[in-house]
Amino acid sequence: MPAIGADTLTSIARQYILPQITDNVYTKNNALLYRLIRGNKRVIQGGTQIEMPLLYKRFNTGGTYRGFDLLTTAPQDTVRNAYVEWKQHYVSFAIDGLTLIKTDSPLAIANIINMLGQQMYMEMGENLAAGIWSNGTDPKDIDGLGVILSATNTYGGISRTANPWWQATLDSSSTTLSFALMRGLFGDATYGASHPTIWFGNGDAYNAIYALNLDVSTGYGVHYNREPGGHDEVLAQAGFTNLLFENVPVVRDDNCPDKYLVALNENYLALAVSPRADFYLRDFEQPTNQDAFVSTLLWAGNLMCMNSRAQAAFTNLTF
């Protein structure tokens, strides 16, 4: 292509640019982050760490008695605290004065500061969405589901090996997905009226469940269809295609690890955030020795799980 102004044609004509910018980067399906921010965000102000009081065992007194029987009044110790540390994320943005001069035109398709500012929020969303699935490899990152979905590590300062009540419900032996397996895991993580509220898998897992849905020979093809009424309307309206299993949404999240299918009880999950750093955009600053402007978007918080055994996952499926 000739340089602009190199001949008559390029001197009097200009390239046509579509009047919008199309996202080709931030394409991941961050359904879990959407659910946490929409319904499970807790604003926590201050504290050296984020503590979670846990009721971990029943009273060992109580029962039947008659007349003048002595009643046991021994003190009870049934609560202990788990905790997570504050974790921080940032996205920075800088622009020089010459770029502002070049883009200060009524023909510009977008205000460059607004455009790049919006991208900062998108970038933060992508980072947090990955963080809430993280496995603890980066100690500065969120304590994600890779940390929470375990039966052997120490989470919240409590050893799971020494405290079975704090272990997640995991199936690492099953490799071939079926509705019977899903029902089994769902039941293992159900306690009375408390049961998983949502399933997550990556694209391969979602497609496998979709295929099972269409197979009437499984006995579920009629009951778990994808027609209207067969999905969660709130998720669907937000753009997240989903199925239902046991009246619980099954949603694709591309941050979910390969081989995993996760059943979460959101009643025991929360995204803790600080009011001082909840997508907080700092004012633009101009360095004294540069013709430039700099700003930073900040976030501080962590993912909290208050009941690990209510969180379940297949970890070794083949799709």
Neighbours of 107 (CB within 10 A): 7
pLDDT band at 102 (very low <50, low <70, confident <90, very high): confident
Domain that holds residue 295: 31-50+81-314
| Residue 3 forms part of a structural domain | no
Task: Give residue 78's pLDDT.
Answer: 86
Alpha-carbon span 307 to 298, nearest angstrom: 29
Task: Give residue 229's pLDDT.
Answer: 40
The most confident of the ranges 69-83, 90-104, 109-123, 292-306 is: 292-306
Task: Give residue 215's pLDDT.
Answer: 63
What is the CATH number for 211?
3.90.1690
| Residue 319 forms part of a structural domain | no
The crossing angle, in degrees rounded to 10, of helices 31-39 and 112-131 is 90
| Residue 24 forms part of a structural domain | no
Residue burial 142-152, b: 16+ Cβ < 10 Å; e: rest: bbbbbbbbbee
Say which residue the tokens 């009721």 belong to.
55
187 or 102: which carries more pLDDT confidence? 187
Q: Region 134-151: what's the mean pLDDT?
A: 96
Alpha-carbon span 88 to 84, nearest angstrom: 13
| Residue 72 forms part of a structural domain | no
Ramachandran angles phi, psi of 292, nearest 5°: -155, 165
| Residue 4 forms part of a structural domain | no
160-193: pLDDT as tens digits: 999 999 999 999 999 999 999 999 999 999 998 8
Counted residue by residue, the chain has a size of 319
Q: Region 296-308: what's the mean pLDDT?
A: 96
| Residue 273 forms part of a structural domain | yes
Give which of 2, 33, 60 is closest to 125, Cα–Cα: 33
**Number of folded domains in the chain?**
1
Tokens encoding 134? 């993280």
pLDDT > 90: percent of the chain = 58
| Residue 69 forms part of a structural domain | no
Bridge partners for 141 per DSSP: none
Could you please report the per-residue DSSP string of the chain?
-PPTTSSHHHHH------SS---SS-----HHHHHHHHH-EEE----SSEEEEEE-S--S------TTPPPP------EEEEEE--EEEEEEEEEEHHHHHHT-STT-SS-HHHHHHHHHHHHHHHHHHHHTT--SSSTTS---HHHHS-SSSEETTEETTT-GGG--EEE-S--S--HHHHHHHHHHT-BTTB---EEEE-HHHHHHHHHHHH-GGGT-TTTT--STTSS-HHHHHTT--EEEETTEEEEE-TTSPTT-EEEE-GGGEEEEEEEEEEEEEPPPB--TTSSEEEEEEEEEEEEEES-STT-EEE-S---
24-71: pLDDT as tens digits: 555 567 899 999 998 899 999 989 999 999 988 888 888 999 999 999
Positive or negative, the CA dihedral 151, 157, 163, 164 is negative
Task: Examine the pLDDT at 85 and tell me if it is beyond 80.
Answer: yes
Task: Give residue 241's pLDDT.
Answer: 86
| Residue 154 forms part of a structural domain | yes
Give residue 29's identity as a one-letter amino acid code.
N
